[in-house]
Structure 1
Amino acid sequence: MEVLFNADDFGLTKGVNDGIIEAFVNGVVGSATLMMNGPAVEDAVTAAKRHPGLKVGIHLVLTWGKALCPDLHSIVDKEGTFRWRSNFREMNIPDMKETEKEWRTQLEVFLSTGLPLHHIDSHHHIHGWEPLKELMLRLAEDYRVPVRFAESLQTDPDYLLTEALWTDFYGNGVTSSIFDQLRRIPAGKVEVMTHPAFADTELQAISSYSEPRNLEREILCSLEIPYWVTIL
């Protein structure tokens, strides 16, 4: 089995960035996805360039913080903050033209850093929302990169980064027995979503998921890789 441990939220805070780099240098993390509206994006870009072996994708955002595109109306409030949250499935479908405009802006800002774009995923998995499927496939086609697995996209496997996504390495599911769990998945290539960090005060102020990231980092840096696993 091929396993890609991807670290989400790169660029959110310096503690997140440092934790991701630690889990790459001394652990199993092979890729990270960059939040282009995160407060610590510049630090993340600098860190990524110091560690070119770390594959970096984009963590498209529509449910946290402020938009990057200035010319938006329906998908942001008067302060420019996105209207959607993690419970987006209970909310109205966003305007597709504005969503595409904002996400293309995020992608172009990513490319302007000079980092090669590895893949696309999203904050709170909003890219897997069925109404956004055609937009996601169009972005994957235009930017020539794969997209994180989502049930809504599994009918288009040629666009997907892996055959499956493991999201249970989170909260109470953070465990060193991760490989025992992965072995039961009927897939040859799996992505594991992770959130390693040094839980700094900045993170605690903006995220409800902070302290468990310390444990994620520690476990990701101490895993023993079984013979049947190839780490990507």
Structure 2
Amino acid sequence: MKVIINADDFGLTKGVVDGIIEAHKNGVVDSTTMMMNGCSVPYAVEQAKLHPDLKVGIHLVLTWGRPLLKEGVSSLINKEGEFRLNSAFSGKEPPDKNEVYNEWKQQIEAFIETGLKLHHIDSHHHIHSWDEVKDAAITLAKEYNVPLRYADSLSEHQEILLSDTLYTDFYGETIYNDLFDAVKVTEAGIVEVMTHPGCVDEQLKQNSSYLEFREKELEILTRIQRPEWAEKY
């Protein structure tokens, strides 16, 4: 079995970047995905280049902060110019598909301009799996020839998916020490584990409700060891 331990939200704040780098240097995290509209993107790029063994993908955003495009995004934003959708996007009025594609393409192009190699694509709050916008994610994965994070709604596109399944239970109240034992039960050929390690800083307190659990994740991810059966991807 191959196990990918991915840390989401790279670039959100300096504390999150520091936590992810620590979880990579002294823990089991082997990949991360960057939010190109995050508060600490330049710092994240700098740290990624200092740690070339860390695979870096993009964390496409449609539910936090502001778009990178300044025009042609009216269906994506509220009157304050921020993304109008949030983690409870299901059931909301969907945005224009072309605007989604254009904004996400801009985010990917901004990533490429950093000089980092794009490893894979996923999204903040899993919005790339939403039926109303998933076609844009599929198109971009094919266009840039990189794999896309697994979701049930994308299962018939296995040829472009990063893994056979996504393990999401290492989060919040369901964080626990026996992570690899739980992952092994899935019996999938390739498993991606979603994690969110980080150090809580003032900027994070202003931009996320997921706080102390990030530090708990960091503590566990730097303490446990990858077993022999859990091959790196």
- Does the pair score TM above 0.5? yes
Structure 1 residue 103: Cα displacement: 0.5
Aligned match of 1:124: 125
Task: Give the TM-score taking structure 1 as reference length.
Answer: 0.98
Task: Give the TM-score taking structure 2 as reference length.
Answer: 0.97
Structure 1 residue 77: Cα displacement: 2.1
Structure 1 residue 26: Cα displacement: 0.5
Aligned match of 1:46: 46
Distance 2:138 2:91 in 1: 23
Aligned match of 1:114: 115
Q: 2:69, 2:103 within 8 Å by CA — same for their partners in 1? A: yes
Q: Which runs of 4+ in 1 moved over 6 A?
A: none
Aligned match of 1:30: 30
Aligned match of 2:160: 159
Distance 2:175 2:41 in 1: 26
Structure 1 residue 60: Cα displacement: 0.3
Q: How does 1:50-65 map to 2 (within 5 A)?
A: 50-65=50-65
Aligned match of 1:66: 66
**Which amino acid is the alignment partner of residue 37 of structure 1?**
N
**Which amino acid is the alignment partner of residue 2 of structure 1?**
K
Matched residues, percent identical? 53
Task: Give a deviation string over 1:29-73, Cα, whole Å, max 9, x none.
Answer: 011100000010010000001111110000000000001001121
Q: How does 1:68-83 map to 2 (within 5 A)?
A: 68-71=68-71, 72-83=73-84
Aligned match of 1:9: 9
Task: Give a deviation string over 1:3-50, Cα, whole Å, max 9, x none.
Answer: 000000000010000000000000110111000000100100000011
Q: 1:169, 1:194 within 8 Å by CA — same for their partners in 2? A: yes
Aligned match of 2:215: 214
Structure 1 residue 230: Cα displacement: 1.1
Q: Which runs of 5+ in 2 are unaligned?
A: none
Secondary structure of the structure 1 residue equivalent to 2:156:
coil
Distance 1:62 1:209 in 2: 18
Query: Aligned-residue CA RMSD in angstroms?
Result: 0.9
Structure 1 residue 224: Cα displacement: 2.4
Q: Which runs of 5+ in 1 are unaligned?
A: none
Task: Give a deviation string over 1:178-210, Cα, whole Å, max 9, x none.
Answer: 111111103111000000011112112211101
Q: Tell me, yes or no, if structure 1 residue 172 matches structure 2 residue 179.
A: no
Q: 2:101, 2:137 within 8 Å by CA — same for their partners in 1? A: no
Distance 1:44 1:9 in 2: 10
Q: How does 1:197-212 map to 2 (within 5 A)?
A: 197-212=198-213
Higher deviation after alignment, 218-227 or 143-152? 218-227
Q: 2:150, 2:163 within 8 Å by CA — same for their partners in 1? A: yes
Structure 1 residue 212: Cα displacement: 0.7
Task: Give a deviation string over 1:154-192, Cα, whole Å, max 9, x none.
Answer: 111010000010001000111111111111103111000
Higher deviation after alignment, 54-63 or 202-211? 202-211
Q: Tell me, yes or no, if structure 1 residue 20 matches structure 2 residue 20.
A: yes
Aligned match of 2:95: 94
Q: How does 1:178-193 map to 2 (within 5 A)?
A: 178-193=179-194
Secondary structure of the structure 2 residue equivalent to 1:58:
strand
